[in-house]
Amino acid sequence: MRTRVGATTDIGQVREGNEDAILINDPLYAVADGMGGHRGGEVASNLALQTVEQMFAERQGTLTEQVERANRAVFERSQSDRDVSGMGTTLTAALIEGGAVRLAHVGDSRAYLFRGGKLQLLTEDHTLVHRMVVEGEITETEAENHPHRSVLTRALGVEGNVRVDETKVEVQEGDRLLLCTDGLTGMLSEDHIESILQDVRDPQEAVDRLVSEANRAGGIDNITAVIIDFTEDGRIDGSGTKEVSQPRSPTTQHPTPTMAPPPRAGGDVTTWSSPPTTRRQPAPKAARPPTARKLLVGIVIVLAIAALGFVGVRLYLDSQWFVGVSNGRVAIFRGVPAEVAGLEMNSVVVETSIRAGDTEELAVWGDRLPDGITVDDRDLAEDVVEQIRTDIERARQNAS
Residues near Mn ion, by CB under 5 A: 33, 181-183, 221
Question: Smallest distance from the beta carbon of 91 to Mn ion, in angstroms?
Answer: 12
- Residue 74 three-state SS: helix
Asked whether 21 and 34 are in contact (CB, 8 A), the reply is yes
- Side-chain half-sphere of 79: how many Cα atoms within 13 Å? 10
Query: 3 forms bridges with which residues in the sheet?
Result: 230, 244
Query: Residue 348, SS3?
Result: strand
Closest distance to Mn ion from the beta carbon of 226 (Å)? 15
In angstroms, give the least distance from the CB of 182 to Mn ion.
4
Q: Contacts by 348-352 with C-beta closer than 8 Å and gap 24+?
A: 349/378, 351/326, 351/327, 352/385, 352/389
Q: What is the DSSP string of 289-333?
A: PPHHHHHHHHHHHHHHHHHHS-TTS-EEGGG-EEEEEETTEEEEE
3-state helix, strand, coil in the chain (%, to 5): 35, 30, 35
How many other C-beta atoms lie within 10 A of the C-beta of residue 366?
A: 14
Residue 221 CB, shortest distance to Mn ion, in Å, is: 4
* Residue (50 or 181) nearer to Mn ion, CB: 181
Q: How far is the CB of 291 from Mn ion (least distance, A)?
A: 24
Instruction: Return the DSSP state at 84.
Output: G
What is the smallest separation between the CB atom of 337 and Mn ion, expressed in angstroms?
A: 23
| Of residues 70 and 332, the one with the C-beta less far from Mn ion | 70
Residue with smaller CB distance to Mn ion, 18 or 51: 18
192's enclosing H/E stretch is: helix 190-199
Rank residues 182 and 229 by Cβ distance to Mn ion and give the closer one: 182
Nearer to Mn ion, 42 or 221 (CB): 221
The nearer residue to Mn ion, 78 or 181, going by C-beta atoms, is: 181
Can you tell me the distance from the alpha carbon of 400 to that of 263, in angstroms, rounded to the nearest whole number? 67
> Measured between alpha carbons, how far is 292 from 120 in angstroms, rounded to an integer?
36
Query: Which residue number, 18 or 277, has a Cβ lying nearer to Mn ion?
Result: 18
Least distance from Mn ion to the Cβ atom of residue 70, Å: 18
Q: Amino acid letter at 129?
A: V
CB of 34 to Mn ion, least distance (A): 8
CA atoms within 13 A on the CB side of 179: 32
By C-beta, is 219 or 257 nearer to Mn ion? Answer: 219
Residue 154 CB, shortest distance to Mn ion, in Å, is 15
Among residues 122 and 223, whose Cβ is nearest to Mn ion?
223
DSSP three-state, residue 149: coil
Nearest of 218, 226, 243 to residue 179 by alpha carbon: 226
Q: Compute how many other C-beta atoms are within 10 angstroms of the C-beta atom of residue 207.
A: 30
Burial class of residue 236 (count of CB atoms within 10 Å of its CB; 0-12, 13-18, 19+): exposed
